[in-house]
Amino acid sequence: MSDALVIANDLTKRFGDFTAVDAIDFEVKQGEAFGFLGPNGAGKSSTMRMIGSVSPITSGSLSVLGLNPATQGPQLRARLGVVPQEDSLDVELTVAENLMIYGRYFGLSRAVIRPRIEELLDFVQLNGKRDEKVDKLSGGMKRRLTIARSLINQPELLILDEPTTGLDPQARHVLWDRLYRLKQDGVTLIVTTHYMDEAEQLCDRLVVMDQARIVAEGTPSDLIVQHSTREVLEMRFPPGTQDENVAQLSGLAERIEILPDRVLLYTPNADATSSEAHARGIRPVAQVSRRSSLEDVFLKLTGRSLVE
């Protein structure tokens, strides 16, 4: 008996001739924060919608909370929380009314919902906005309200599809903090993102998706160790001179990635590599040495950047 909350085998989603999700396998365990990292169009949202049992699977198998989404959709959705990619709040209603109405969709009584509204508004720090129309909230507040809404039925599994896309850094940190607390309370999280820092911050384990397939799987640090070096040296050269400089770089690093605007040197020790380059007479206009990140993993695996 597996303790996995979500088990997918050969999971496939096709829209006509287009394959959005191509025979992927994964398991999400009880209590973990599991991430789907990938660029737009990689198939993350389609996967989320299948897990959320709002989109039928084309082939393969999928079990969520031990239930079959195809035949037990309503029972399954009763135990899930969903934060969709695009806001779907009732803008004509107030903050508290949004929570009340959503709780009623789950068939909860008003007496049960009322105290939960106060708790959740506390939790997402929107108590001051209780009777405000949703129209008037900022983007960050709307996202927080959407998260509060997704928790009204006290879900065992929370699915967040790009929860912080479009938010400013401060609003993102507030959200991450709330999601952390949920995880500590034992809620299992599934998060999609195309921000590598978000994946590193939030996820215990993640899969990297590209073009409908899973291309790597592991903890953020495992993925970095497996697919990248410890450090990265980034160099920028004056416009038009990148090619001639790149020619002189060979042998300096384990791997060199050439991007349109800069060159990445993958090396165990960025400072040592920088000195060697300097000794060869290479003079970048700017350079940064940093730790490898999931962005580098993604670049290595797919040859492309996550965020274009």
Rounded to the nearest whole angstrom, what is the least distance from the CB of residue 74 to another protein in the complex? 4
Q: Which of 59, 66, 105, 285 touches another protein (CB under 8 A)?
A: 105
Q: What tokens appear for 302 in the block?
A: 């797919």
* Per CB under 8 A, 163 contacts another protein: no
Applying CB under 8 A, which part among 105-113, 170-178, 185-193, 283-291 lies near another protein? 105-113
* Per CB under 8 A, 51 contacts another protein: no
Q: Please report, for residues 16, 118, 140, 167, 198, the alpha-carbon distance to residue 173 in angstroms, rounded to integers and kept in the order given.
A: 39, 22, 10, 10, 9
| Nearer of residues 78 and 301 to another protein, judged by Cβ | 78
Q: Please report, for residues 7, 226, 306, the alpha-carbon distance to residue 63 in angstroms, rounded to integers and kept in the order given.
A: 5, 30, 29
* Phi/psi at 23 (5° precision): 50, 60
Rounded to the nearest whole angstrom, what is the least distance from the CB of residue 75 to another protein in the complex? 7
| Nearer of residues 72 and 269 to another protein, judged by Cβ | 72
| Nearer of residues 36 and 102 to another protein, judged by Cβ | 102
- Residues 57-86 contacting another protein, CB under 8 A: 73-75, 77-78, 80, 82, 84, 86
The residue with tokens 């903890």 is 219
Q: How many CB atoms lie within 10 A of CB 295?
A: 21
| Nearer of residues 93 and 171 to another protein, judged by Cβ | 93
CB of 205 closer than 8 Å to CB of 273:
no
* Per CB under 8 A, 181 contacts another protein: no
> Is residue 188 classed as helix, strand or coil in its secondary structure?
strand
| Nearer of residues 66 and 238 to another protein, judged by Cβ | 66
Rounded to the nearest whole angstrom, what is the least distance from the CB of residue 165 to another protein in the complex? 16
Q: How many CB atoms lie within 10 A of CB 23?
A: 15
* Per CB under 8 A, 122 contacts another protein: no
- Through-space distance between the first and last CA atoms of the chain, rounded to whole angstroms: 42
Q: Please report, for residues 3, 63, 72, 190, 241, the alpha-carbon distance to residue 218 in angstroms, rounded to integers and kept in the order given.
A: 18, 21, 30, 14, 38
* Per CB under 8 A, 203 contacts another protein: no
Q: Which residues bind another protein (CB under 8 A)?
A: 15, 52, 54-56, 73-75, 77-78, 80, 82, 84, 86-93, 97, 100-102, 104-107, 149, 153
